[in-house]
Chain A
Amino acid sequence: MRAFLHPVLGAAGFVAVWWLATWLRVADPVLLPSPVDTWRDTVAEFARGPLWNDLLRTVWRTVQAFAIATAIGVPLGLALGARERVYRAVEFVVDFFRSTPASALFPLFLILFGVGEGTKVAVAAFGATLVILFNAAYGVINARRTRVLAARVMGAGEARIVWDVLLWEAMPQILVGMRQGVSLALVIVVVAEMFIGSTDGLGQRVIVAQALFESGLMYGVIFLTGALGYAFNLLFLVAEKRLVRWGGK
């Protein structure tokens, strides 16, 4: 109950401050509409239909990018982590591109994938893959040596050890990587929708609303992306709790 009450109180406080600011006319109403206007404009846009489509497009791109990143990042991270020397050899490259702002890669990916759907998903998948790979590899590198030795003494071969021990040992870290990965994928997808020729998606929606001075809608869509990011995060926090019951014990 408490756990539920606190966030609700926090959100209510935030809306109250916002409402007060508009009531005191801290800023021009065109720049800062009231919470009520924002709510009304956003609900109206949902009712008209296109905003649903934008939301679904953004979710779908993020999910695709995340699925690709997981399918590549987890196995590759496990394999590299199991061969620590190999991982050390590629670590610099992984770290370098992990630190490169994904937006700087847009032009490159535009050349590779063209001005279509592919580019947005590909850049997001690229960024998320590195995060997931890095976490999976570190999960394996920090695996308890004793458990690996125990499996070996019980007759498990190297492939068995990866599957039966290292995957589980790395599981908490893999889930952390997936959580960070999905957040990053969403960020990149939204930015890509803003700047590389989109006709839909929440990112494109924010930019268009801003250009047309539909500020109520603009704020609404911004909050929508926030809610989406929060929901993804929450999903993985719950998954971590349910899947890694032995964590910290």
Chain B
Amino acid sequence: MDDGVRSEAATGESAITVRGLRKSFGGLPVYSGFDLDVRRGDILAIFGPNGCGKSTFINMAAGLMPIDGGSILYGGRTVRQTRIGYVFQNYREALFPWLRAEENIRYPLRRLGLPRREIDRRLQQLATDFQVRFDLRRYPYELSGGQQQLVSVMRALAVEPEVLFLDEPFSALDYETTLDLRALLQDVLKRLRVTTILVSHDLEESIALSDRLLMLTRRPTAVADDVAVDLPWPRTSHTLSEPSFVALKRRCLDVFEAAVAGRV
């Protein structure tokens, strides 16, 4: 009864509902009964030590890895019935180098079977949204790392996803490029209200880009802290030095250190 009411409410406002998620590798559990609700339109950052299962989680959520038990639903639907976008950490290995950048972006739209005119319209729209100033007719290996990851982001957003997954999308880029991409991304995500899960091992980035920050412990993975990030949007490089940001980061660091030391 209680459960019924809760899931009713959940489908109403929550875009992602995880219940009793279980996953283990070779008998060693990563998740043993993990629950999570993500509100529609929220950017949820997941932060945790290396190997705690962040990638495992979003791979299961994106349907790329089977789950051992429990459920991950999107407004009551499975991932197969949901339009999703996924940005991989390693853009070099995620883009198709035999296709031009623009063909990479068109690829998921072709899989949806959209008419050509609509595909071109979306490509134009994305190029405008992300202020693309390089030639999209070039091949991925002719672009810089930042440009390649921007193409990956555009490819993921082309399908107008209900949920977007980002697995450490900036970790292979230099700081300046990262700041640029972050600014462009938050702009588009907030305007389109895309529900997003961002995995990061960079605490500053996790806070700067999220509405809510989930801090995970070492395996077996549990939630060390669940922090609402109430900073105003847009968040610029100035945000990073504001007292509210600094205080939040301090608090998260303390939790993180305690969690890694195993005291949570």
B159 contacts which chain A residues (CB < 8 A)?
A: 154
Which of B84, B90, B94 has the largest count of A CB atoms less than 10 A from its CB? B94
B90 contacts which chain A residues (CB < 8 A)?
A: 146
The contact of A144 among B93, B111, B112, B141, by CB within 8 Å, is: B93
Chain A contributes a number of interface residues (CB within 8 A of B) equal to 19
B245 within 8 A of A: no
Given A245-B139, A249-B141, A153 and B96 touching (CB < 8 A)?
no
B98–A146 contact, CB under 8 A?
no
B64–A149 contact, CB under 8 A?
yes
B86 within 8 A of A: yes
A49 within 8 A of B: no
A147 within 8 A of B: yes
* Distance of B224 from chain A, by nearest CB (Å): 28
A15 within 8 A of B: no
Q: Which residue of B lies closest to A152 (CB)?
A: B64
A155–B111 contact, CB under 8 A?
yes
The contact of A154 among B93, B97, B98, B111, by CB within 8 Å, is: B111
Given A149-B64, A153-B63, A153-B64, A165 and B96 touching (CB < 8 A)?
yes
A96 contacts which chain B residues (CB < 8 A)?
A: none
The contact of A147 among B59, B63, B94, B155, by CB within 8 Å, is: B94
Which of B63, B93, B96, B107 has the largest count of A CB atoms less than 10 A from its CB? B96
Chain B contributes a number of interface residues (CB within 8 A of A) equal to 24
Given A146-B90, A246-B97, A249-B97, A153 and B111 touching (CB < 8 A)?
no
For window 86-135 of chain B, which residues contact chain A by CB distance below 8 Å? 86, 88, 90, 93-98, 107-108, 111-112
B141 contacts which chain A residues (CB < 8 A)?
A: 246, 249
Given A146-B88, A150-B86, A245-B139, A155 and B108 touching (CB < 8 A)?
yes
Q: Which residue of A lies closest to B139 (CB)?
A: A246
Measured between alpha carbons, how far is A246 from B63 in the docked complex, in Å? 29
Interface string of A136-172 (1 = CB under 8 A from B): 0000000010110111111110001000110010010
Measured between alpha carbons, how far is A193 from B159 in the docked complex, in Å? 59
Contacts A/B (CB < 8 Å), 20 sampled: A144-B93, A146-B88, A146-B94, A147-B93, A147-B96, A149-B88, A150-B86, A150-B94, A152-B63, A153-B85, A153-B86, A154-B111, A154-B155, A156-B111, A160-B111, A164-B107, A168-B96, A246-B98, A246-B141, A249-B97
- B: residues with CB less than 8 A from A are 59, 62-64, 84-86, 88, 90, 93-98, 107-108, 111-112, 139-141, 155, 159
- A: residues with CB less than 8 A from B are 144, 146-147, 149-156, 160, 164-165, 168, 171, 245-246, 249
With A152-B63, A168-B96, A246-B139 given, can you name 14 additional A-B contacts, CB distance below 8 Å? A146-B93, A146-B94, A150-B88, A153-B62, A153-B85, A153-B86, A154-B108, A154-B155, A154-B159, A155-B111, A160-B111, A245-B139, A246-B97, A246-B141
